[in-house]
Structure 1
Amino acid sequence: MSFADLSPELKAAMPELRGRLLPNQPLADITWFRAGGLAQMLFTPEDEADLSYFLSRLDPQIPVTVIAIGSNTLVRDGGVPGVVVRLARGFNRIEVEEGCRVRAGAAVPDVKVARAAAEAGIDGMAFLRGIPGAIGGALRMNAGAYGGEITDIFVEARAVDRAGKVHVLSHADMHFEYRKSKAAADLIFTEGLFAGTPGDSTAILAAMNEITDRRDQTQPVRSRTGGSTFKNPPGHKSWQLIDAAGCRGLRVGGAHMSELHCNFLINDEGATAADIEALGEEVRRRVFEHSGVELEWEIKRIGVPA
């Protein structure tokens, strides 16, 4: 399904725009599930200033959705109305600063931050090696793995609001909770600043290699998946609840729950986004029926059904 082309009116309202603004662009190619529909408008800003300018000139009635590397995202088959902002090359800067700090753009993969910190002898960020995503998403969801989470290393973040105003957010502004931040929903994070402690590069890299080995052995890292599907409910592990409900390997259409790690949804036979979401909902139903525990999606689902 295609949408009305908004580009002529948007470009007319933004004569100084530098980024790419394209109508009816497929999103399946830029998400890890490789499924889903079109973006009505796909905007790739050149940098933070370009993003700020765009948002300041955009009709506030037009919805805005953000994607970076598309790891933790399921795009529904009917596509995404409004504008999808894709943070890419203009947001992939990474710098090591004094005081065991690392500054990273929102599009920098988490693993690259872990590696930069390790090579600089900064401890405390190795856990980022185990998170399949980019810094913007990690900030939004307080991403964590292997005993660490963003709140542990966070110093500050830059973000642009829906009106185009740039904000610098402190730890208190982020209101971190388990797998979420309660910072204003309209903020688009552009970079984060993180702090660790002095460490030994060799030891940190060894710890990262151990995380890599554990992931390879226990997670379907080379499959079309979005990462962990459901958050761990208080006092439980999602994969154990899913397994106990008999959902390991459960299939709907071209999607199935991984046999290796049953909290991972896999697109292995050309699944539609509807297949993937229906499977997730069936797992939620069976888990609740079996244990009385309601699973909460960790995968971000965007757009409209076909």
Structure 2
Amino acid sequence: MSDSENVFPPSLSAALLKLDPEDGEQIMEYLKTHVLLSREKALLQASVREQKKLLVENAKLKKDIEQLRVQLQEKQRRRTGRYLLAPPPPSLSPAPAPPVVPAAPAEAPPTSSQVRREKCNRRRRARPVSDPLRAEPPVDVSRLDLRVGRILSVRRHPLADGLTVQEVEVGEDAPRTVVSKLGEKTHLEQLPGSLVVLLCNVKPCKLRGVASQARLLCCSSPDDDDLALLLPPSGSAPGDRVTVTSYHGDPDHLLPSGLWQRLQVDLQVDGGGVASYKGGSLQVKGKGRCRGPALTCCCLR
């Protein structure tokens, strides 16, 4: 089937060729081209009309969406106004049960006063209730965290002539830094490798710029002229607890202010050189008692 047959019926083509055999074919081509152009023009116009129609519909949809948004904002403002004007509840219990409210698509946020009341209720619920029958922890030597330590190194304090800095192993992941005043008669070169008794639950503090994490227990003469490190029993190992018989409490995590000074007055070295607290000896269970190497009848500090 030719292109002319697609555009015109066969009878029309035959009639034109019969009337004008010479120019009939050219007339048919002209007519076919004109008809095709007219079709394309009609299709283009229809496409433009469809595009305009879509633009009009899009504009209408945007306008509808904007109206819905304005209505939703107005509804939200009215809900917020009702919350602000609503009277407060008559009373608040220490632990109110949260009300069951059905879910809403757009719920107004709580007001600042409601947020403050809720925070206050949470603090009341979290506040521990004091037990008047619970006894206060005893003030005795069991609250001291005394452990055996091994001195790894000793050096002079860089900013204080009378102080020394020791690195002491106490059975933990890392050694503790201890700043001490050991006195001029102490032979510092003999200290590395020595076993000592360490008070481990004192509050860490900086002494002339160096942080001290524990306290070395020393035997001290009344005038503080002579100092000697308190020695644990032979066979002790870093980390061993030093305790006193008949005092079985757990040591504090950190000693409160002033407690060490209250307990220190009863920590003595007797005439036999044994360290004691109110008559009970300081000892490492199963290994022996702690002693002063040379001083007797003196105090521990």
The TM-score bracket by the shorter chain reads under 0.3
TM-score, normalised to structure 2's length?
0.23
By relative contact order (CA 8 Å, sep 6+), the higher-ranking structure is: 1
Q: Give the structure with the higher percent strand.
A: 1
Q: TM-score, normalised by structure 1?
A: 0.22
Higher Rg? 2
